[in-house]
Structure 1
Amino acid sequence: MIPLTALLPRPVSITPAPGTCRWPAPVEVRAADLPAEGYRLTIRPDGVLIEAPDAAGEFYARQTLRQLIGPDAFRAVPLRGTAELACGTVLDHPRFAWRGCLLDVARHFRTKAEVLRFADLLAAHKLNVLHLHLTDDQGWRVEIPAFPRLTEVGSWRRESMVGRHDGPERDGRPHGGFYTGDDLREIVAYAAARAITVVPEIDVPGHSRAAIAAYPELGGGRELDVWTSWGVSTDLLDPSESTVEFFRTVFDEVLDIFPSEVIGVGGDEAPGATPEHGKFTARMIEHLHARGRRAHAWDEVLDTGTALPAGTVIGAWRDETQVARAIEAGCQVVACPEQAVYLDHRQADGDDEPVPVGFVRTLADVHRWEPPPGVLGAQAQVWTEHLDSVRRVDYATFPRLCAFAEVVWSPPDRDHAEFHTRLAEHHLPRLDALGVEYRPLDGPRPWQRRPGVPGRPR
């Protein structure tokens, strides 16, 4: 029997009661006056009562019930028919409205099936935003019928940099893929059934070399290939009127596919950008707001000096000082600092970590991180330059995403030792049942290492 205290993320309150409930058991659902996405789960000897104010709250109550049934409930087909549930009441609701995870499918493409699986993993941790980074220098991943070369040319590159270095080494292996409009509509609907909003991102005016390779006029007529390097390209969009009209058409297609109120426009890492590039990004933001949506942009847009429409969402990634700047500018803020929640960064010092890039960010570091005050929420980032398979995504993401989920859902009085015990004894077996190839708590398995592949530690 799984104790009520084994839940992850940790709920607001737990009230044990005598007795047990034999599962399967009747489940009754009632409406309740609780905070948005909250629930009250009452387990009694004769059955289970779920009280929730909305569909998301009921979904999260069922996720909690699934955890209490045991790891078998996380398998595709349960292998055991019954379980004993501890009686009691779990009262719970999220701390933040935006509990997100970015998945970069531009650098290394993830198939539709893999994205659906990733949505399942977010849902199991009560995360509610899947931010899909769909375009970058190394690949364009969304079909735009008006501009077929975006996927015919821009969706694949001839090879990729091996690891992270300053030399010419490449793997000689073509890489590519893209989603049709219907693929993305399916992903959106699948995620919505799991209380997740999919926020798409089309990154402009930098991170646009794949688009320029497809349509050279977007870069002022320069003939370029889809980039085979990692890092920050200096190739920017030409901020001309024709480029503005091109991307208005692109974003209109994105709006037709994605019902999300928030749509990402990028705006980051544009070396050599001019004031005209800042105006270009502002015009894309204005276009989205004129269509009744809101833009998500990275915090560099605050440097352009251009006024942003009310309701613009800023992803504060460079450091937490950007949060105050964005709030002062009248924006909502999602905290996603590189120093805390970039899950592609290495998890330990030493040679065992595969392709060791960025800062050391341990499981404890993520769990102890506290989002700054005044934010809409927070988001973990899974950038995939060095994550070239779903196994590598699993390794980098879990179990650190479990810690992040607790940060954004649970009350702030966290005890890492207690979390570590809950994770090791109860939650890792759930991940095992789901088939997640996470990083073991004592270090990588032999096949999870990448000896000889260069990184770039910081």
Structure 2
Amino acid sequence: MEDDASLIPRPVLVEAPGAAPEGSARPGNGRLPLGVHTRLDAEAGTESTARWLRAVLGAATGLTFPDGADPHGIALRISPDVERELGPEGYRLCTDGSATGAAVVVEGGSPAGVFWGAQTLRQLLGPDAFRAAPLPPAGRTWDLPRIAVADRPRFAWRGMMLDVSRHFLPKTDVLRQLDLLAAHKLNVFHFHLTDDQGWRIRIERHPRLTDIGSWRTRTKYGHRASDLWDETPHGGYYTQDDIREIVAYAADRHITVVPEIDIPGHSQAAIAAYPELGNTDVPTSPDGKPLAVWDTWGINPNVLAPTDSTLLFYEGVLEEVLALFPSTFIHIGGDECLKDQWKASPAAQARITELGLADEDELQSWFIRHFDTWLAARGRRLIGWDEILEGGLAPGAAVSSWRGYAGGIAAAEAGHDVVMCPEQQVYLDHRQGGGPDEPMPIGYVRTLEDVYRFEPVPPGLSPEAAAHIMGTQANVWTEVMQNRARVDYQVFPRLAAFAEVAWSALPASADRDFADFERRMTAHYRRLDALGVDYRPPGGPLPWQKRPLPEGMTGSLGRPIEGAPPNV
């Protein structure tokens, strides 16, 4: 069993044993046992949480939690009172046995609130409740502390972006990531599906996007300054049924999947599959050979041609994307779009003149505005990286602010909704320590405490602008993460700190109690162990997590690269 102080993210209010108000009928002390006769009563609207609880707690404890009301059982309820007091994602959890009709009551302001309360309930059962099968002895006792929790999230958008273009993750690993997000009360999964290095979603009307665009012949090993290569072909993609499964799995966990289809930059994989999408009147490769899916990192010069046929092509792509993803927001990238090809292309220059635009920045803005209008006509909203501010931004578009706070501040002050995800604080591909043992170290050193002290709302924003900060997101770019274990190492434990920043009503960053967070993390590490997460231990990488040095390797990969920019 965990004591109440071990909960992550930290709840708004916890009444610990013995803390009952004077005159309360609540016992306050002792344990509340669960056993083979403990029933689970799921009110209408909470059925998916009941299924989830029976699945995860049933697997870990061996208990079946049969359906039905029981004064000694668990009840899941949706409460208008909780919604009024704590919002739709808020919840109350009472395990003191004093509630009417059940010993354990989880009340949410909505089905999502009930689910987040159930996540807290699982934590209170201890780390073994996160295992996939019961540990011996058979029939061991399971019990809860007598406790009352009132909780709600600080932000509506609490997200993680996962890049599967640089290194592909199989569907089962994506589903596992969704479980890990849910365990930390994160509710947005930003799915980065296309880039120069690979196109990962099947588009039926344009099959070469995956037939050709999902595979590359080799891969740069380490930072882009390295001269090392992995000569093994790399690739993979998700079928449309895979995507439907991922979206449904996420929805059962009250996670919204926001797809990203990059335009007009980061498009070499698409151009390799359909060369007519590129600027065909200028050179597209130094050696004059046909473009292939890119095998290295950095900012790619190949951008989409600003033609009507390109717009029509991507409208077709997005029609299939909208049919698969019910998310209100659709991410279109818009970052790191080099304009050199447009400057050199007679066709692109003619388009600038035809449209009455001032320059190439306005041409990119024209691209973005086209799809903002197209998405709005279908009841969706465009979101893109903060470069979409350049050249002017359509009124309904939202911004992911990654190049520090400046883009988010400008967007919020201009009335645009913003997700704060600055690279300097929450890019989890950046290394966690300054030592040479960090695997493929890139970027800034960002420790667990650094992430814990991140403040998503920039100081000095007007109240009107601050209201446009929808939330925050951690970004996981996978240039140096070849597999699930490497993703685990980079993401955890820092995602736990980020989750608390996104969920909890924390004080100003400098005043946050990191010592208390570390103390609660002692229990949380055991939960991560039970889940099989290959996190970075507090003392540094374990021997098998240290970066192996390939034979003959020298140069930049042999030591950390201070301040190396992320390869977005």
TM-score bucket (shorter structure) = over 0.9
Output the CA distance in 1 between the equivalents of 2:521 and 2:173.
Answer: 24
- How far residue 125 of structure 1 moved from its aligned partner, in angstroms, is 0.3
Higher relative contact order (CA 8 A, sep 6+): 1
Q: Deviations over 1:317-374 (max 9, x none)?
A: 0011212211123210000000000000011112011111000000000001111152
SS class of match (1:49)? strand
**Residue 457, structure 1, aligned to residue 562, structure 2:** yes
Gaps of 5+ in 1: none
Match of 2:501 among 407, 410, 430: 407
Contact 1:19 1:44 in 2 (8 A): no
Contact 2:224 2:296 in 1 (8 A): no
- How far residue 5 of structure 1 moved from its aligned partner, in angstroms, is 1.4
Output the CA distance in 1 between the equivalents of 2:274 and 2:402.
Answer: 30
**Residue 148, structure 1, aligned to residue 207, structure 2:** yes
Match of 2:222 in 1: 163
Contact 1:139 1:210 in 2 (8 A): yes
Output the CA distance in 1 between the equivalents of 2:158 and 2:172.
Answer: 22
Match of 1:57 in 2: 113
**Residue 44, structure 1, aligned to residue 96, structure 2:** yes
- How far residue 204 of structure 1 moved from its aligned partner, in angstroms, is 0.6
Contact 1:100 1:128 in 2 (8 A): yes
Q: 1:69 to 1:249 in 2, by over 3 A?
A: same
TM alignment of 1:29-40, pairs within 5 A? 29-32=76-79, 33-34=81-82, 35-40=87-92
Match of 1:238 among 305, 311, 316: 305
Contact 1:286 1:309 in 2 (8 A): no
**Residue 100, structure 1, aligned to residue 159, structure 2:** yes
Output the CA distance in 2 between the equivalents of 1:165 and 1:253.
Answer: 34
- How far residue 40 of structure 1 moved from its aligned partner, in angstroms, is 0.3
TM alignment of 1:57-456, pairs within 5 A? 57-79=113-135, 81-166=140-225, 168-221=227-280, 222=284, 223-272=290-339, 274=360, 275-305=362-392, 307-310=393-396, 312-372=397-457, 374=466, 375-413=469-507, 414-424=512-522, 426-452=523-549, 454=557, 456=561
Q: Deviations over 1:187-214 (max 9, x none)?
A: 0000000010000000111110000000
Q: Deviations over 1:269-305 (max 9, x none)?
A: 0122623233112212221111110011000010122
Output the CA distance in 1 between the equivalents of 2:399 and 2:189.
Answer: 16
Identity %: 53
Gaps of 5+ in 2: 17-27, 39-72, 285-289, 343-359, 459-465, 564-568
SS class of match (2:544)? helix
SS class of match (2:106)? strand
Contact 2:78 2:111 in 1 (8 A): no
Match of 2:29 among 18, 21, 44: 18
Output the CA distance in 1 between the equivalents of 2:445 and 2:402.
Answer: 17
- How far residue 169 of structure 1 moved from its aligned partner, in angstroms, is 2.9
Output the CA distance in 2 between the equivalents of 1:265 and 1:114.
Answer: 24
Q: 1:100 to 1:167 in 2, by over 3 A?
A: closer
Q: How many residues align?
A: 455
Output the CA distance in 2 between the equivalents of 1:58 and 1:73.
Answer: 18
Q: Where is the strand percentage greater, Structure 1 or Structure 2?
A: 1
SS class of match (1:395)? helix
Could you tell me which amino acid in structure 1 is paired with residue 364 of structure 2?
Answer: H
- How far residue 411 of structure 1 moved from its aligned partner, in angstroms, is 1.4
Which segment drifts farther, 442-451 or 184-193?
442-451
Could you tell me which amino acid in structure 2 is paired with residue 39 of structure 1?
Answer: Y
The TM-score with structure 2 as length reference comes to 0.78
Q: CA RMSD in A?
A: 1.4
Output the CA distance in 2 between the equivalents of 1:300 and 1:393.
Answer: 27
Which segment drifts farther, 369-378 or 77-86?
77-86
- How far residue 168 of structure 1 moved from its aligned partner, in angstroms, is 4.4
Contact 1:165 1:456 in 2 (8 A): no
Q: 1:352 to 1:169 in 2, by over 3 A?
A: closer
The TM-score with structure 1 as length reference comes to 0.97
SS class of match (1:245)? helix
